Structure 1
Amino acid sequence: MSEKPPWLKAHGTPWGVTRETVVYDNPWITLTEYDAVAPTGRPALYGKVTFKNRAIGVVPLHADGTVTLVGQNRFPHANYSWEIPEGGAPLDEDPLDGAKRELAEEVGLQAADWRLILTMELSNSITDEICHGYLALDLTPTATAPDDTEDLAIARVPFAEVLDAAVSGHMPDSLTVALLLRVHHMAVKGELPADLARLVLADARS
C-alpha cells in the first residue's frame, strides 16, 4: 500500500446536525432524517441509511486464471446479476471471517491465501456502508450453504473474459467491477505471482 499523498487533505467545515429522527429500522438498515448544516453554513434536510453489516466481496481466483462467479435474481433492480461472491458481515465480526463464510456458503470454496485488496465507501452521499474486498487464492472445495432466499447459479470463467464483461456493462454490480479492476491492477503492478499475473493479463480474445 502506497503512502497517502499530501494533496489528499480535508478542506472546509464539516457537516453539522441540529436534529435527528429515526424514520425506519429493520435488522439490516436504519434510515435517519437530519436537520443539518451544510459546510457552506446553509440549512439542509438530509437522510442517511446506516447499515448493520459491512459489505463483503471476494474474487476467487483459481491457479488456471479462472474466477468463480455467482448468478442470482436481485430484488432492488428486479434483474438477474452475475457477480463475485458477496455478502454481509456483522459489525462486530472480523470481516475476513465473513469473507470466508460467504465464499464457502455461496460457491463451496475455501482458500489458503487471503488478501484484503480494497476497502470502499459504496454510496457515501446517502449511506455509511463500507465494503471490504478480498482476493482468495489456493482454492479447494468445501460444502455450500446458501441462504434460504438464495437460488444461486455458479460459473467458472477466465479472468480476462470476466473483466471484459464487467467493463462492458454486462456485470454492473459495483463490488464486482471494482474488485476485478483491482486484481488487474495488482497484476500490472507485480503484486501477484508471475504465472497468475500472466493469466490475469491475457487477452480475452485469444
Structure 2
Amino acid sequence: MQHTHENPWKIVSEKEVYDNPWINLTEYQVINPSDKPGIYGKVHFKNLAIGIVVLDEDMHTYLVGQYRFPLNQYSWEIPEGGGILGIDPLDSAKRELLEETGLKAENWIEIQRLHLSNSVTDELSILYLARNLQQFEAEPEETEQLQVKKIPFKQAYEMVCNGQITDAMSVAAIMKVQLMILEGKI
C-alpha cells in the first residue's frame, strides 16, 4: 500500500460544540481514510503553550509546583503558560518566566516545538532554554497558587526519569536540555 502526504479525510459538515476564551470544540462529520462515514472531535487552542527550562551558572533549574484542576493532583513543572497567537512567543516566554518565578533571563534559545496531543487537539508548544538570570519579584495570576523551588538540573532530570514529573512539556524540555548537556552544547 502506497501512502501519500495528502489529506485522506473528507469533511462532510462541522458543528461548534463549545467555545470559551481558551479553547473551542468542533465536531466534524467525516468520511474517514477507509471511505466510511464517521465523526471526529477537535479541540482548538486559542493560545500557544510556552515552557521554559531555566539554567543558572551552577546548573540549577527552577520548578513550579501547582495543583492541576483537570488532573485533580499536584504537579511539578518547568515554568509554563499561554502565549497569545500573533505575539512573538519569546515575549510570552519572558512574561511567563517573570510571572511565575520572578526571574528575567539575558540569553534565550528556542529548543523545541511540539504538538502536545495531535490526535484530538491542534495545541502547539514552544520550549525555551533561559540563561544568565536576574531575580525580581514573581507576579502570579489570580488563578495560580504556585510554589517555586530551585534544584540542581540533574535532580529535575531524575524526577522525569522516576515519574515525579509527568507534564509533557516539562518532560520533553528537560530531556532535550539533558541531551544538549551530553552533546556539549551547554
- TM norm structure 1: 0.86
Structure 1 residue runs of 4+, over 2 Å off? 9-14
Q: Percent identity?
A: 47
1:149 offset after TM fit, Å? Answer: 1.0
1:42 offset after TM fit, Å? Answer: 2.0
In structure 2, the residue matched to 1:155 is 149
Q: Provide, for residues 177-196 of structure 1, a one-character-per-residue CA deviation record: whole Å limited to 9, x for no partner.
A: 1000000111122221xxxx
Correspondences of 1:51-66 after superposition (within 5 Å): 51-66=45-60
Correspondences of 1:75-154 after superposition (within 5 Å): 75-154=69-148
Give the whole-Å Cα distance in 2 for the aligned partners of 1:15 and 1:78. Answer: 35
Equivalent position to 1:18, from 12, 15, 25: 12
Give the whole-Å Cα distance in 1 for the aligned partners of 2:85 and 2:44. Answer: 12
Q: Secondary structure at the match of 1:112?
A: strand
Give the whole-Å Cα distance in 2 for the aligned partners of 1:75 and 1:162. Answer: 23
Give the whole-Å Cα distance in 2 for the aligned partners of 1:14 and 1:135. Answer: 37
Q: Provide, for residues 129-168 of structure 1, a one-character-per-residue CA deviation record: whole Å limited to 9, x for no partner.
A: 0000000011111232100011111100111111111121
Give the whole-Å Cα distance in 1 for the aligned partners of 2:33 and 2:89. Answer: 33
TM-align CA RMSD:
1.3
Structure with the bigger percentage of strand: 2
Q: Gaps (5+ residues) in structure 1?
A: 1-8, 193-206
Matched, 1:49 2:43: yes
Q: Secondary structure at the match of 1:175?
A: helix
Give the whole-Å Cα distance in 2 for the aligned partners of 1:141 and 1:15. Answer: 50
- TM norm structure 2: 0.95
Sort the Cα spacing of 1:42 and 1:121 in 2 relative to 1 into closer, same or farther, 3 A.
Answer: same
Q: Gaps (5+ residues) in structure 2?
A: none
1:16 offset after TM fit, Å? Answer: 1.9
Give the whole-Å Cα distance in 2 for the aligned partners of 1:146 and 1:48. Answer: 30
1:13 offset after TM fit, Å? Answer: 4.3
Equivalent position to 2:171, from 169, 173, 177: 177
Aligned pairs, number: 184
Give the whole-Å Cα distance in 2 for the aligned partners of 1:55 and 1:47. Answer: 20
